[in-house]
Amino acid sequence: ALAATVRTFSGEGRTADGHRVQLLANIGDPAGAEPAAAAGAEGVGLFRSEFCFLDREQPPTTEEQVSAYRTVFHAFAGRKVVIRTLDSGADKPLHFLSVDDEENPALGVRGLRTAEKWPELLEQQLEAIAIAAAAEEAEVWVMAPMVSTVAETEWFVARCAAHGLETAGVMIEVPSAALLAGPILARAHFASIGTNDLTQYTMAADRLLGSLAELSDPWQPAVLQLVAATCRGGDLQGRPVGVCGEAASNPVLAAVLVGLGVSSLSMTARAIPDVAALLGAVTIGRCREVAQLALAAESAAEARAVVRAALPQLD
């Protein structure tokens, strides 16, 4: 029998010809931070702060938040940590931060939209992040979930700046934000594409419905077109664009994302070694070629098949 290859990773993600791609971890619970750091993640590309408080009836205090955030920042001292402000609603409602009489919660008051109804909770969270960041050595970036407009971006970046949080960005997970990535990235310092929700909203297919799995596929060429549009916006403004959805953890798809212009990939830490191995076996030129193949495909199945056939196989 063939022994399965157990890969490890440490250092910096690069293609075979040295093109840099940051390989970062997605973190929920602060307890996941140490293991992710030990697994060699270069930093945290998505700290889902709402996961710290899912079971709470009441909002956490500033002190509770500072403590949770410090745990993660501490584990990644000297490295980048992108913390996302509370993303409540739809598949992960927080008791203290959701409207329960909505017919379509995925299209309702969720993500950054909750900050209009409960502005004091965003202010408190930004204050807690600023305190935790000042106490630890991590390079802290702050990011808003479910941004749909340029105005929301401008407002969020201003709120962050008011708390001394200088590096503020947005998630691109709504098609409107992908299409307006240029003006959005004229305001935000970075963007991170959430392919889970971007796929859901592009394909109008509930991400939780297994029966719609064929539509809920980040290989859908329409989704990849929106990734490309976001990267063009990043290029135009000289701002980095990353991916932090599940798509980043698939090594073959990761090559496509890099070829489309994404400069960081954030994923569950255990996926990093395989993604690093595939990227290390291809040039950036090859990544760009397969990205064009995927964009030209007319279905998710075709995109997957043509790209797989053009890349080396991992054992």
Which residue's CB is nearer to Mg ion, number 173 or number 274? 173
CB of residue 167 to ligand PEP, shortest distance in Å: 19
Contact residues: ligand PEP, CB under 6 A:
46, 48, 87, 173, 194-197, 244-245
Of 52, 160, 231, 244, catalytic: 244
Q: Is 288 annotated as a binding residue?
A: no
CB of residue 244 to Mg ion, shortest distance in Å: 9
Which residue has the CB atom at the shortest distance from ligand PEP? 194
Out of Mg ion, ligand PEP, none, what residue 217 binds, judged by CB under 5 to 8 A for its kind, is none
Which residue's CB is nearer to ligand PEP, number 25 or number 46? 46
CB of residue 281 to ligand PEP, shortest distance in Å: 26
CB of residue 195 to ligand PEP, shortest distance in Å: 5
Out of Mg ion, ligand PEP, none, what residue 42 binds, judged by CB under 5 to 8 A for its kind, is none
Which residue has the CB atom at the shortest distance from Mg ion? 197
Q: Is 207 annotated as a binding residue?
A: yes
11 CB-contact burial (10 Å; exposed 0-12 / middle 13-18 / buried 19+): exposed
Out of Mg ion, ligand PEP, none, what residue 274 binds, judged by CB under 5 to 8 A for its kind, is none
Query: What is the residue-wise DSSP string for the chain?
Result: -PPPP-----S--B-TT--B-EEEEEESSGGGHHHHHHTT-SEEEEEEGGGGGTT-SSPPPHHHHHHHHHHHHHHTTTSEEEEEPP--BTTB--GGG--S--S-GGGSS-GGGHHHH-HHHHHHHHHHHHHHHHHS-SEEEEEESS--SHHHHHHHHHHHHHTT---EEEEE-SHHHHHTHHHHHHHSSEEEE-HHHHHHHHHT--TT-GGGTTTS-TT-HHHHHHHHHHHHHHHHHT--EEE-SGGGGSHHHHHHHHHHT--EEEE-GGGHHHHHHHHTTS-HHHHHHHHHHHHH-SSHHHHHHHHHHHSPPP-
Q: Is 55 annotated as a binding residue?
A: no
Contact residues: Mg ion, CB under 5 A:
173, 194, 197
Q: Is 48 annotated as a binding residue?
A: yes
Q: Is 113 annotated as a binding residue?
A: no
Which residue's CB is nearer to Mg ion, number 122 or number 307? 122
Out of ligand PEP, Mg ion, none, what residue 59 binds, judged by CB under 5 to 8 A for its kind, is none
Out of Mg ion, ligand PEP, none, what residue 189 binds, judged by CB under 5 to 8 A for its kind, is none
Which residue's CB is nearer to ligand PEP, number 14 or number 80? 80
Confirm whether 287 is a catalytic residue: no
CB of residue 202 to ligand PEP, shortest distance in Å: 12
Q: Are 300 and 221 in contact (CB under 8 A)?
A: yes
Pick out the residues of the known binding site for Mg(2+).
173, 197
Could you list the active site residues?
244
Pick out the residues of the known binding site for phosphoenolpyruvate.
48, 84, 196-197, 207
Pick out the residues of the known binding site.
48, 84, 173, 196-197, 207
